[in-house]
Amino acid sequence: GQGFADKRKRKAKYEYMKILKKEKNKIRDEAAGSSKQNREDSGIRKERGAAMEQYTKKKRANYKKMCKKTQRGQPLMRERIELLLSKIENKYNQT
């Protein structure tokens, strides 16, 4: 009868299902890895954004101090000297 052909068909079907299962697992693992990587990337992005915001705040504050003028349009030296003094103190404290 068809015993041998039937076994061959079942074996082929089994091999096909095995390959499909491997592919599914591979795709699922890649998706899990990419979501983990996305979480890491978003964390890095948040840190970078916070650092950038802090930098722009500092830059804006320095700009406001540097562009202050007297009534006659002369630069306000007190603000500039205070800014330079704070820079020197920061460098001195770091070393």
Give the model confidence (pLDDT) of 29-66 as tens digits.
887 777 777 888 888 999 999 999 999 999 999 999 99
> Who's near 68: CB < 8 A, 6+ residues apart?
75, 76, 79
> Who's near 44: CB < 8 A, 6+ residues apart?
none
Is residue 50 within 8 Å of residue 35, measured between CB atoms?
Answer: no
Strand partners, 75: 69
Structure tokens that stand for 9 in this block = 């068909």
Tens digit of each residue's pLDDT (9 = 90 or more) over 61-93: 999 999 999 999 999 999 999 999 999 999 999
The residue type of 93 is N
